[in-house]
A and B are shown apart, each in its own frame.
Chain A
Amino acid sequence: MARRLKFNIFRYNPQDPDSSPHTDTFHLEETESMTLFIALNQIREEQDPSLQFDFCCRAGICGACAMMINGRPGLACHTLTKELPEEITLMPLPIFKLIGDLSVDTGTWFRSMYEKVESWVHTDKEFDPKAEEERMDNALAEEIYELERCIECGCCVAACGTANMRQDFVGAVAMNRIARFIMDPRDERTEREYFEIIGTDEGIFGCMGLLGCEDVCPKHLPLQDQLGILRRKMGWSAVKQLFKFGK
C-alpha cells in the first residue's frame, strides 16, 4: 500500500517583493525507490514550477543538493523517502546565504574558504614538461585521496555548533582540506605557515568537539580523526612558538 507523503517546504523568494518566508505543504503518492530528487522534481513539474532547489549529478558525488531533511543536513538526491516518516520537512541549509526556497549560495562561501586556507600545492619547483613525474608511494596517494573525497556539500558546516554561532569559523571542511595538504609532500608549506592559517579561534581552536560534522558527512570522511590530529599538531606548534623553538 503506497503511502501518501506530506512535504512541508520552506518558501521564500528574496527577489520577489510579494514573497515572505513561509511553509508550503505538498502531497505525493510514494513510488518504489523514490528519492527526494524524484519527489521534488515531481512537485515542481506537477504542482509548483516556481519551487527552487539544487540538483546536479543526482548521484551523490557533486554535493549540490544538501538541505535540512527533517532537521538534519543531508544530500537530497540519495535520500530514499522510504527511510523517512510520512511527513517530511525540508529547509535550506543554515549559514549559507539563501537564494530562494531550498537553494543556498555555497559557491561564494567555499571560494572564500579556498582563498583563506590557500587550497593549493605551494611549491617553488617549476614544472618540467619533458621530465618524468616525481614518484610517490601508492599508499600515501590513497591516504590523500581519502581526504580529497570531500564534495563540499556544506553539511558539516550546517551541523557545526561553532559555525552556527560565529560566521568567521572555517569549519571541518577547511580543516580537512588543510590536513590533506599537510599530508602531501608536494606542498612545501611549513608547520608555522599552516599555524598562521588555522591556529586560531576561527580555525582549530574554535572547534568545540561536538563532532556533528562527522555524524552528517555523506562521504563518511574521518573528520573526527583529522580534527584531533590538527589540534595536537597546532597545539604543539603554539607551545614551540611560545618557547621560540619553532621555525
Chain B
Amino acid sequence: METTFTDVLCIGAGLAGERVAIEAASAGFDAICLSIVPARRSHSSAAQGGMQAALGHCAMGDGDGPDVHFVDTVKGSDWGADQEVVRLFVERAPEAVREMAYWGIPWNRVVPGRSTYFKGGKEYEKVEATEKEGFITARDFGGTAKWRTCYTSDGTGHTLLYTMDNKVVQLGVTVHDRVEAIALIHDGETCTGAVARCLKTGKLRTYLAKATVIATGGYGRIYRETTNAVINDGGGAILALDTEVVPLGNPEAIQFHPTGIVPTNILVTEGCRGDGGTLLDVNEERFMHEYEPEKAELASRDVVSRWMTHHIRKGLGVKSPYGDYLWLDIRHLGEKHIKTKLREVEEICNNFLGIDPITQLIPVRPAQHYTMAGVRTNKDGAAYGLKGLFSDGEAACWDMHGLNRLGGNSLAETVVAGKIVGEKIVEFLKGYEVQYNTAVIRSAVTKQQERMKNLISGKNGTEDVYKVRNAMQGELMERVGIFRNGADLQKAVDNLQEIHGRAKKVGLRSNGAGANPELGLTLKIQGMVRLALCTAYAALQRTESRGCHAREDYEARNDRDWWNRTLATWKEGAELPTLDYEPATETVELPPGERGYGVCKIISCDGEVIGEDN
C-alpha cells in the first residue's frame, strides 16, 4: 500500500484547505492537500457575490469598521455565534482581503464621482470620494448596516480560488487531486492521518500526518433541492462523526438561500438584491417591504426565505409544474450593470433558463445553501475530541455564524479562518512529534478494505444506493426545511431511522472496478443518512426558533433555555446521535436583543417575554 508522510494533511483543496496549507508551507512545514476534484473545481469557485471585510472605502461604507461588522454578524447569527470568534474574524478580515489583493485578486475598485444605485426598485444617487479612488470598493448585502462586501463582478469565489491555488503552486504545495479520504486514522485520542481512496484507480492509500485538517466544505447534498455542487455530500463531516468522539456543532443549522433558480436550484447571487434587485409575486408586485419595512429584500437570508415561503403559502406564488415560485427582478439595473457586475447571473439565466435578465424576470425560490453545522472546533480551529485534528471553512463549526450566516461572510471565513487556523497549526507543529502506531494504521486500513469487499460482493444486502439517497433527500426536504414543527420532525426522525436501516444493506449492482462511482457513493451513504438524522433529531430537540431554525410550534427565540450549541456525536451501533449542549458563547460583548428584522418574539435570559404574535 502506498503511504505518504507529511506534516499537514489538508482534506479539501478549496479556499479553506489551501489557505491553511499556504500558512504551513510558508513556515517551512510540508503540506499536502487532498481533493476529490482538481483543486480549482472546488465549490469555493461557485461563490459569486463577494467577501465581507470592513474596509470602509466606498461612500456607502463610510464609517464602517470591525465593530459594525461584529454587531451585524452576531445579530445575523441570532446570537448563536461564539462572540470571541466573531471578534477575531472581523478584526482580521480587512488584512485578509488586502493580502488577497497582493496575491493578485482584481477586486473592483472605487470610481470617484457621482453615480446612481437602486434600492427597493427606486433610484438614488451617491458620490464616491476622490481621495478613495482605486481602493477596494464594496457592494450591499443582506443583514448589514454598511456596504461591506468586496467583490470581483459576480465571480469572487472563482478569482479567490484561482489566486489561492496559484499561491499553492508557487510554494510547491502538493495537491493530490481525485483522492477521497474515507476514514481518519486515530486511537480515540490522537489523529495521525487518513485512509484515502484514489478516484483515478480506485486503490486505497494511507496518509500519515502530524496535523490533519478537515476542510471539505458543506454538505447540502443531503437535501434534494440545494444550490451546492454535487461534491458537497458530507465526506468530511462523516469522517468526524465516524470517530465517535469528534462532535458536529449545531447540526440543525441549515441555511436556505432565497434565490435558487427554478427548477435547477442553481444559485443566483445575493448581489442581485444587494445591487437593488427586487422580489415580485404572481401579480408582479413587491412584497418584502410589507413584511420588513426597514430591510425589505435585504433582511438576512433566513428571514427573506421565510417570508418568501409564507407569501407562496398565501397563494401569491407563480404556479409551475415544478411547484410555486416567485420572481427576481433585476431589469431596472440596466444592461451595463448586469453585463459588468452580474455577468455570471446573466450567463446562468441564458444557459439554464433561456431567458434574458435584462428584459425578463428570473424564477426563484429558496433552496438549501449552507451548513452552519460542522466539525466543532475551538477558536484555534482544533477539533473537539482528537488531538492533531483541525477543521476550518464551511466544514467547521468555528462558530462565527451561529444559527444563520450572513451573505459574504462565508468566503471571508474561508480566507480569514484559513489564515488564523493555519497560524495556530504552525504553533502546534513547532516541537510536536507523534508516534505512528502500526496497529492503529493497519486496523483502520483493514476496516476499509473489508467494507469495500462487502459492498462489492453484496454481502450486506442488495439495496440500491441511489434509491436510499433519494429517500433521505426527500425526507429532509419535506419535513426538515424552512419551517419546522414537532410532529413533522418526529416523523422525519422515524423515517430516517428506517432509511438508516436500508443504508446498512446497500450493495453494488456494478463490478466496483477502478474509480467506480457507485462504490464512491455506497461507501458514504450510511454516513450521509447519519448526518440527516443528526439534523432532524437536533432540530426536534431544539424547542425554540432561532436564525434558520424556525419552529411553528415554538415561535419565540428562547434565550433562557436554548442560548446554546448542540454537539452531536455518534456511537458505533447506535440508532440515533448523542446530543450534548454547551453555551453558545463564553464571551458576551453584545447581550442578546432584537435583530431589527424578522419576527421579534423573545423569551429573555430572565424569562421575560418580549414581542408579540405576528
Taking Cβ atoms with an 8 Å cutoff, the residues of A that contact B are 13-16, 18-19, 32-33, 35, 44-45, 48-52, 54-64, 78, 80, 99-100, 103, 105-108, 110-111, 114-115, 118-121, 123, 125, 127, 129, 131-138, 140-142, 144-145, 148-149, 151-152, 184, 186-187, 219
Supposing A138-B109, A184-B104 touch, asked if A61 and B136 sit within 8 A by C-beta, the answer is no
Closest 4 pairs (CB-CB, A-B): A15-B514, A135-B134, A107-B38, A50-B510
Q: Is the CB of A135 within 8 A of B109?
A: yes
Q: Does B147 contact A (CB under 8 A)?
A: no
Chain B residues with Cβ below 8 Å from A119 are 166, 169
Q: Is the CB of B348 within 8 A of A141?
A: no
B119-127, B205-213, B515-523, B574-582: which lies at the interface: B515-523
In the assembled complex, how far is the CB of residue B98 from the closest CB belonging to chain A, in whole angstroms? Answer: 5
Docked complex: B472-520 residues within 8 A CB-CB of A? 508-511, 513-518
Chain B residues with Cβ below 8 Å from A121 are 102-104, 166
Chain B residues with Cβ below 8 Å from A152 are 38, 40
- A196 to B264 alpha-carbon distance, docked (Å): 46
- A90 to B348 alpha-carbon distance, docked (Å): 23
- The one of B108, B165, B166, B513 in contact with A142, judged by C-beta atoms closer than 8 angstroms, is B108
Docked complex: B451-490 residues within 8 A CB-CB of A? 465-466
Known: A133-B136, A141-B108; 16 extra A-B contacts, CB below 8 A, are A35-B352, A52-B515, A52-B516, A60-B348, A62-B37, A63-B40, A78-B352, A80-B354, A108-B177, A114-B165, A127-B102, A135-B135, A142-B153, A149-B158, A151-B158, A187-B104
Chain B residues with Cβ below 8 Å from A58 are 229-230, 264, 266
Q: Is the CB of A114 within 8 A of B169?
A: yes
In the assembled complex, how far is the CB of residue A114 from the closest CB belonging to chain B, in whole angstroms? Answer: 5
- A151 to B45 alpha-carbon distance, docked (Å): 9
- The one of B37, B106, B136, B518 in contact with A64, judged by C-beta atoms closer than 8 angstroms, is B37
Q: Is the CB of B104 within 8 A of A120?
A: yes
Chain A residues with Cβ below 8 Å from B103 are 120-121
Q: Is the CB of A49 within 8 A of B110?
A: no
Q: Is the CB of B229 within 8 A of A57?
A: yes
- A108 to B165 alpha-carbon distance, docked (Å): 14
A contact face: mostly helix, strand, loop, or mixed: loop
Q: Does B46 contact A (CB under 8 A)?
A: yes
- A137 to B109 alpha-carbon distance, docked (Å): 7
Q: Does B107 contact A (CB under 8 A)?
A: yes
| Selected A-B contacts with CB under 8 Å, 15 pairs | A15-B514, A50-B513, A50-B518, A56-B230, A107-B37, A107-B175, A114-B165, A120-B166, A133-B135, A135-B134, A138-B110, A149-B158, A151-B40, A151-B158, A152-B38
Q: Does B242 contact A (CB under 8 A)?
A: no
Supposing A56-B229, A61-B158, A105-B200 touch, asked if A136 and B109 sit within 8 A by C-beta, the answer is yes
Supposing A138-B108, A138-B110 touch, asked if A13 and B513 sit within 8 A by C-beta, the answer is yes
Q: Is the CB of B162 within 8 A of A59?
A: no
- A110 to B40 alpha-carbon distance, docked (Å): 10
In the assembled complex, how far is the CB of residue B342 from the closest CB belonging to chain A, in whole angstroms? Answer: 13
Q: Is the CB of A45 within 8 A of B517?
A: no
Q: Is the CB of B46 within 8 A of A110?
A: no
In the assembled complex, how far is the CB of residue A121 from the closest CB belonging to chain B, in whole angstroms? Answer: 4
Docked complex: B30-58 residues within 8 A CB-CB of A? 37-41, 43, 45-46
- The one of A14, A59, A107 in contact with B178, judged by C-beta atoms closer than 8 angstroms, is A107
- The one of A59, A123, A141 in contact with B46, judged by C-beta atoms closer than 8 angstroms, is A59
- The one of B109, B158, B175, B263 in contact with A141, judged by C-beta atoms closer than 8 angstroms, is B109
Q: Does B321 contact A (CB under 8 A)?
A: yes
Q: Does B332 contact A (CB under 8 A)?
A: no
Q: Is the CB of B166 within 8 A of A114?
A: yes
- The one of A35, A56, A99, A138 in contact with B134, judged by C-beta atoms closer than 8 angstroms, is A138
B160-186 interface mask toward A, CB cutoff 8 Å, 1 = contact, 0 = none? 001001110110000101100000000
- A78 to B344 alpha-carbon distance, docked (Å): 13
Q: Is the CB of B266 within 8 A of A59?
A: yes
Q: Is the CB of A63 within 8 A of B135?
A: no
Q: Does B193 contact A (CB under 8 A)?
A: no
A103 and chain B: residue at smallest CB distance: B515
Supposing A107-B177, A132-B135 touch, asked if A100 and B515 sit within 8 A by C-beta, the answer is yes
Chain B residues with Cβ below 8 Å from A138 are 108-111, 134, 137
- A16 to B202 alpha-carbon distance, docked (Å): 10
Chain A residues with Cβ below 8 Å from B98 are 127, 129, 131-133
- A55 to B175 alpha-carbon distance, docked (Å): 20
Q: Is the CB of B263 within 8 A of A33?
A: yes
In the assembled complex, how far is the CB of residue B240 from the closest CB belonging to chain A, in whole angstroms? Answer: 23
- A52 to B101 alpha-carbon distance, docked (Å): 39
A118 and chain B: residue at smallest CB distance: B170
- The one of B43, B175, B200 in contact with A99, judged by C-beta atoms closer than 8 angstroms, is B200
- A133 to B134 alpha-carbon distance, docked (Å): 9
Q: Is the CB of B201 within 8 A of A115?
A: no
Chain B residues with Cβ below 8 Å from A78 are 351-352
Q: Does B83 contact A (CB under 8 A)?
A: no
In the assembled complex, how far is the CB of residue B323 from the closest CB belonging to chain A, in whole angstroms? Answer: 14
Q: Is the CB of A145 within 8 A of B155?
A: yes
Chain A residues with Cβ below 8 Å from B348 are 59-60
- A70 to B137 alpha-carbon distance, docked (Å): 44
Chain A residues with Cβ below 8 Å from B170 are 118, 120
Supposing A15-B201, A138-B109, A141-B108 touch, asked if A32 and B321 sit within 8 A by C-beta, the answer is yes
Q: Is the CB of A60 within 8 A of B108?
A: no
B508 and chain A: residue at smallest CB distance: A49
Supposing A61-B344, A99-B515, A114-B169 touch, asked if A145 and B266 sit within 8 A by C-beta, the answer is no
- A138 to B136 alpha-carbon distance, docked (Å): 9
In the assembled complex, how far is the CB of residue A215 from the closest CB belonging to chain B, in whole angstroms? Answer: 17
In the assembled complex, how far is the CB of residue B394 from the closest CB belonging to chain A, in whole angstroms? Answer: 15
Chain B residues with Cβ below 8 Å from A148 are 106, 152, 155, 158-159, 162
- A142 to B45 alpha-carbon distance, docked (Å): 18
Q: Does B599 contact A (CB under 8 A)?
A: no
Q: Is the CB of A129 within 8 A of B513?
A: no
Supposing A33-B263, A99-B200 touch, asked if A120 and B109 sit within 8 A by C-beta, the answer is no
Chain A residues with Cβ below 8 Å from B263 are 33
- A111 to B168 alpha-carbon distance, docked (Å): 10
Chain B residues with Cβ below 8 Å from A131 are 98
Q: Is the CB of A50 within 8 A of B517?
A: yes
Chain A residues with Cβ below 8 Å from B99 are 127, 129
- The one of A44, A118, A184 in contact with B517, judged by C-beta atoms closer than 8 angstroms, is A44
- A88 to B612 alpha-carbon distance, docked (Å): 60
In the assembled complex, how far is the CB of residue A188 from the closest CB belonging to chain B, in whole angstroms? Answer: 12
Supposing A44-B517, A107-B178, A142-B340 touch, asked if A56 and B101 sit within 8 A by C-beta, the answer is no
B267 and chain A: residue at smallest CB distance: A59
Chain B residues with Cβ below 8 Å from A106 are 38
- The one of B40, B133, B511 in contact with A135, judged by C-beta atoms closer than 8 angstroms, is B133
Chain A residues with Cβ below 8 Å from B165 are 114
